[in-house]
Structure 1
């Protein structure tokens, strides 16, 4: 099996894992909304937080075990596991990166926003590429700009030079002419183009 094929397999694995976590969280949330629950007191709220934290921990453990299994079976190289999150999947990816950034060699955030913690990412120095349309119809580009700035400042506080930070962090805001003449008729659907962009994918697989 060639290295390129291994890379593609690891990407598919990462996307599958993230999608699995997102779908599980969606059905859990949907189940909660359909339950008749009386007004909760402070103790019930704390119990709910503890339960949610336990679930998150279990899901992280599940993801780690899946990664180890894939590596042991020769389907992935531990040092070549990449992740991509788009839209709601990007929010889930940010949560994962905020807890276990060391699971991934590099991460690609497409047309989304950052919902996770920042410090673990800069401590692990996990490279992150942000790409979104300038006028994304769902999120707008401001959330990515804010996340990029926070991460950049945290790296600067570590004493990293600009060239070092630029290797770990990219903010790519696509103007409307990027989408002109393509099959993408709205900017939030830009992931169709992003995953075919040699510059973007070259950055991801270059780590």
Structure 2
């Protein structure tokens, strides 16, 4: 296994760990709100703000730890850190990209939707590729099309030429025939094919 693949696996594992942390924090805070209902509405709002600030602080701490881990694990090429988010992992990756896009050399979003902020990505100029089946059974392809368009317009507002934007942003919608004759029987399972597609992975590692 090459160092580049080890780096990708390390980052994917870190994203998975962050996803578990976010889920744990969500259920913990939800349980707390159900058990401790404030008497006044203003107190409930303050409690919600405190919880949100605490969660944001914990998320940023996790991101900083991920950054340090990625740098130490990939000592050969610390500036080359790639990420691939599939389905729910893609949603988590979008959240991370919306906070710390500079962590990654490039990001591959597969069969998912964008849940993060957009401006930090275009400010950092982190390349992002969206790949999904046209009729993805879980998300559909519209969320990716919308995210792509928003990012594209933000780059255009910066004055970037189309060729420059095309190097930073890719929307790859796979039609039905892409899945025909493969082991994948439904389009949302396309992640199995995308990570084995030389053109897609070539784009990712080509940055």
Q: How far apart are 1:23 and its partner, in Å?
A: 4.7
Q: How far apart are 1:4 and its partner, in Å?
A: 3.8
Comparing 4-13 with 188-197, greater Cα deviation is found at: 4-13
Contact 1:111 1:139 in 2 (8 A): yes
Confirm whether residue 60 of structure 1 aligns to residue 43 of structure 2: no
Q: How far apart are 1:37 and its partner, in Å?
A: 4.6
Q: How far apart are 1:59 and its partner, in Å?
A: 2.0
In 2 relative to 1, CA 51–22 (structure 1 residues): closer, same or farther, beyond 3 Å? closer
Confirm whether residue 153 of structure 1 aligns to residue 156 of structure 2: no
How many residues are paired up? 207
Comparing 45-54 with 98-107, greater Cα deviation is found at: 45-54
Q: Could you give the per-residue CA deviations for residues 98-152 of structure 1, whole angstroms, max 9, x where no partner exists?
A: 1111111111111111111111110010111001100011111111101000000
State how far apart, in whole Å, the 1-side matches of 2:118 and 2:5 are. 31
In 2 relative to 1, CA 54–175 (structure 1 residues): closer, same or farther, beyond 3 Å? same
Q: Which residue of 2 aligns with 1:47?
A: 47
Contact 1:83 1:107 in 2 (8 A): yes
Q: How far apart are 1:96 and its partner, in Å?
A: 1.2
State how far apart, in whole Å, the 2-side matches of 1:39 and 1:89 are. 38
In 2 relative to 1, CA 79–47 (structure 1 residues): closer, same or farther, beyond 3 Å? same
Q: How far apart are 1:89 and its partner, in Å?
A: 1.4
Aligned Cα root-mean-square deviation (Å):
2.6
Confirm whether residue 206 of structure 1 aligns to residue 199 of structure 2: no
Question: Structure 2 regions of 5+ residues with no counterpart?
Answer: none
Q: Secondary structure at the match of 2:35?
A: coil
In 2 relative to 1, CA 2–110 (structure 1 residues): closer, same or farther, beyond 3 Å? closer
Q: Which residue of 1 aligns with 2:120?
A: 120
Q: Could you give the per-residue CA deviations for residues 69-112 of structure 1, whole angstroms, max 9, x where no partner exists?
A: 34235567431111111111111111111111111111111111
Q: How far apart are 1:35 and its partner, in Å?
A: 4.9
In 2 relative to 1, CA 27–143 (structure 1 residues): closer, same or farther, beyond 3 Å? same
Contact 1:64 1:103 in 2 (8 A): no
In 2 relative to 1, CA 70–115 (structure 1 residues): closer, same or farther, beyond 3 Å? closer
State how far apart, in whole Å, the 2-side matches of 1:75 and 1:35 are. 47
Q: How far apart are 1:60 and its partner, in Å?
A: 2.4
Contact 2:108 2:129 in 1 (8 A): yes
Contact 1:148 1:171 in 2 (8 A): yes
TM (normalized to structure 1)? 0.86
Q: Secondary structure at the match of 1:173?
A: strand
State how far apart, in whole Å, the 2-side matches of 1:81 and 1:74 are. 8
